[in-house]
Chains A and B, each alone.
Chain A
Amino acid sequence: EAHLVESGGGLVQPGRSLRLSCTASGFTFGDYAMSWFRQAPGKGLEWVGFIRSKAYGGTTEYAASVKGRFTISRDDSKSIAYLQMNSLKTEDTAVYYCGRDSNFAFDYWGQGTLVTVSS
C-alpha cells in the first residue's frame, strides 16, 4: 500500500526559506502527479500546488496565494517530492500535507508536518 511521509517542518522567521520533503513508498512514484496542501490552525484545507508526472511533462501548477514564492519539484529516483518555500509570511503557518494525485482526487496523504513562521 502507498505510504507518504512529510519532513522538514519547523520554526522559521518571516522572510526566510524552508524546504519540505515528501518521501513515498509502496507504489511507482514516477507514474503519479503529487500535490501539496496546507491547513492553518483551526482552519480548512487549502491546495498549494502540484507537479505532474514526467509522462505529462513534469510541469507544475500553484495556488494564487503561493505562486512566485513556492516551488514544487520531484526526484523520481528517490521517490521524493519537494516543496521549496521562500519569502515566508506569518500567514504561511500551517500543517503541510503531501498527497498522491489519482483520477483528479487525492487518494493517499501523509501525516503532515507543521511549519510555524514567527519571529
Chain B
Amino acid sequence: QSALTQPPSVSGSPGQSVTISCTGTSSDVGSYNRVSWYQQPPGTAPKLMIYEVTNRPSGVPDRFSGSKSGNTASLTISGLQAEDEADYYCSSYTSSSTYVFGSGTKVTVL
C-alpha cells in the first residue's frame, strides 16, 4: 500500500486560507468516507483534526474543514493563525481493511 500523496509544503499569511490535498486511489480515499486528518507540531504526538472526511472532534476550531471529491480529500484551514504551523497528515481506511497515511505536509505561517 503506497502512501497517499500530499504536497510537501504549503504556506500562507495570518488570516489567509490554505488547502492541503490528499490523493489516493479507488481502493482507499475513493472507496470510503473514512478519511481523517492529523496535526503534528514538532516533537509532539499527532492530534486528530477531522474524521470521516468532514467531521470535527470536540475542541477543534471550526477554521478547520474537510472535503472529498473522487480519490482526493482536502483539508482547509481558514483564518490561518501562527499556532496552526505544524505538519499535517491525512489517513484513509482501505479495501484491504488496513490504513494508510499521507506523506505529510508542512504548513508554514509567514
Contact = CB atoms under 8 A, between A and B. Distances in A.
Interface of A: 35, 44-47, 50, 61-64, 97, 102-107, 109-112
A35 B99 contact: yes
A111 B89 CA distance: 17
Contacts of A111: 45
Interface residues of B, number: 28
- In the complex, which of the residues B1, B52, B93, B99 has the most CB atoms of chain A within 10 Å of its own CB atom? B99
Nearest to B47: A109
Main secondary structure of the interface of A (DSSP, over half): strand
A44 B3 contact: yes
Nearest to A108: B48
Given A64-B1, A107-B57, A47 B45 contact: no
A83 to B, nearest CB: 15
A55 B46 CA distance: 27
Nearest to A35: B99
Contacts of B69: none
A61 B32 CA distance: 18
A47 B100 contact: yes
B97 A61 contact: yes
